[in-house]
Amino acid sequence: METVKAKKFLGQHFLKDEHIAERIARSLSGKESRLLEIGPGMGVLTKYLVDNPAIDFRCVEIDRESVAYLHEHYPTLQVVEGDFLKMDLNSLFHDSFAIIGNFPYNISSQILFRVFDHRNLIPEVVGMFQKEVAERVAAAPGSKIYGILSVLLSAFYNIEYLFTVDEHVFNPPPKVKSAVIRLTRNNVTSLECDEKLFVQTVKVGFNQRRKTMRNALKPMGRDLSDIPETLLQKRAEQLSVADFILITNRLKETL
The three-class DSSP label of residue 152 is helix
Question: Whose Cβ is closer to ligand SAH: residue 125's or residue 247's?
Answer: 125
Question: Whose Cβ is closer to ligand SAH: residue 113's or residue 191's?
Answer: 113
Shortest CB 55 distance to ligand SAH, Å? 17
Question: Whose Cβ is closer to ligand SAH: residue 168's or residue 218's?
Answer: 168
Q: What letter does residue 7 receive in the DSSP assignment?
A: T
Shortest CB 230 distance to ligand SAH, Å? 43
List residues near ligand SAH by CB under 6 A: 10-15, 38-42, 44-45, 60-63, 66, 83-85, 101-102, 104, 107
Q: Identify each DSSP E strand in the chain by its residue range.
A: 14-15, 34-38, 56-61, 78-81, 98-102, 124-130, 157-165, 170-171, 178-185
Question: Whose Cβ is closer to ligand SAH: residue 101's or residue 141's?
Answer: 101
Shortest CB 202 distance to ligand SAH, Å? 25
Let me know: does 4 contact 172? Beta carbons within 8 Å.
yes
Q: What are phi and psi of 192, to 5 degrees?
A: 60, 40
